[in-house]
Amino acid sequence: MDVLIRTKLLSPSAWRAGLLAAVLALSCGAQAQEKRAVPPNIEQAAAEIAAELARNCPLAPAGDVGAYNQCRQALFGPSQLRAHVAPIVLWGRQSKKENATLRQTNLTQFAPDAWTGMYAPLFMFNGRHTVEWVADEKMFLVRLEAAFRNRLPPGQFPYPFWHDEAKWSMYENARSMMLWMSPETATIKVAQFTDVAPTPLLQPVVAVQHEKYQGPWLWTDEKGHTQPAVTLFDGLYRPENPYLGSVDKRYRDLAAQMRESQCVNCHVPNNPDKMSRLVLLSTPAHAAAEVDRLIKAVREDRMPMDEFRLSYALSEDNKKWLLESALAFKASLTAARQWEDEAAKKTVQSAINPSKVIK
């Protein structure tokens, strides 16, 4: 009652003044949040990544395979970019819907190796970048000026992006790569590309016209080679790696079991189930990056899903065969990676002391 009495004693002008002061205080607080300063660790991470990309993936002719492979090898290894990628990174084009949030945008989930080995290297950079706080997403946005390698041979793309004309057009005319960084960890949680930017194209784009593509996602070229070559670790693993044949065979075994278990009905690039967070299993490199999550999901009966997006358990036989083939594929990958690590050590040792090469 006492509070009510005191409120009645306030004059209308005093009440309006108090209300205005409260509104201004809230407004100033919101503006302060929107203009959040970029902390040193985010600024440093963005600068290091931008400099590294400009150094290892500079502007070059859009069909220069050598420049592309140099970029791939640099980013796939112990790079600054790789070091700042979260355990799961979401990737895709910027939504054409005005003011669409990341939550409202369809994106594909990748493990760091898949994104740094196959997707990020498709772009070229000049080192120019900006960093800003985006309050709606609660993340810092690093914008990197970029151009796309649209004239590479088809086998150098993770899959034919031209299966979707709108996607291919945005790739070809990309002007910027967008890295969304967590304020707490300075890790990249989401990465996007866009053809909308205040900066001009870094170099003229000569468009490439492709016939309408409807699959398959793995094919054999006129020379009898499996394509896309980039998904077979070509250019990342040494040709003399003795486990590459095993990796290929084990993937084919796994792919057969995934077809039997309906996995390829959903986990393919054209996303027939319209998942907002797609996981790809359609090539060796994609499956290699996701094999641990595949094994876990099958063991926990979270795959596959029915037409209502409800998970159900596989038959005992299908579950057994799918897990066995996935584990065998993982074992071959582990052996191939360990061999690469040892070969890299020998190369370093040879450069330091040629007379004492590790055998």
pLDDT tens digits along 285-316: 888 888 888 888 888 887 766 665 666 677 88
Amino acid code (one letter) for 25: A
Beta strands in the chain (DSSP E): 85-93, 107-110, 123-134, 139-148, 176-181, 188-194, 219-220, 226-227, 277-279
pLDDT tens track for 38-60:
999 999 999 999 999 999 999 99
* CB of 213 closer than 8 Å to CB of 160: yes
Q: What is the mean pLDDT of the chain?
A: 83
pLDDT for the residue numbered 355: 60
- pLDDT category, 280, cuts 50, 70, 90? confident
Residue 212 sits at the vertex; the CA angle it makes with 207 and 216, to the nearest 5 degrees, is 120
- CA neighbor of 217 nearest in space, from 260, 157, 257, 170: 157
Percentage of the chain with pLDDT > 70?
81
Q: What is the mean pLDDT of residues 149-172?
A: 92
pLDDT for the residue numbered 268: 65
| Beta carbons within 10 angstroms of residue 222's beta carbon | 5
* CB of 162 closer than 8 Å to CB of 140: no
| Beta carbons within 10 angstroms of residue 277's beta carbon | 11
Residues 6+ apart with CB under 8 A from 172: 148, 150, 205, 207, 208
Which pair of tokens denotes residue 357? 């090469």
Q: What is the mean pLDDT of residues 324-347?
A: 89
At residue 19, the 3 state secondary structure works out as helix
At residue 48, the 3 state secondary structure works out as helix
Cα distances (angstroms) measured from residue 157 to each of 110, 162, 203, 310: 15, 10, 20, 32
pLDDT for the residue numbered 94: 94
pLDDT for the residue numbered 270: 64
Beta strand 219-220 with 123-134: parallel, antiparallel or unpaired? unpaired
Q: Does residue 10 or residue 351 have the better pLDDT? A: 351
Q: Terminal CA-to-CA distance of the chain, rounded, Å? A: 90
Whether residue 126 has pLDDT greater than 70? yes
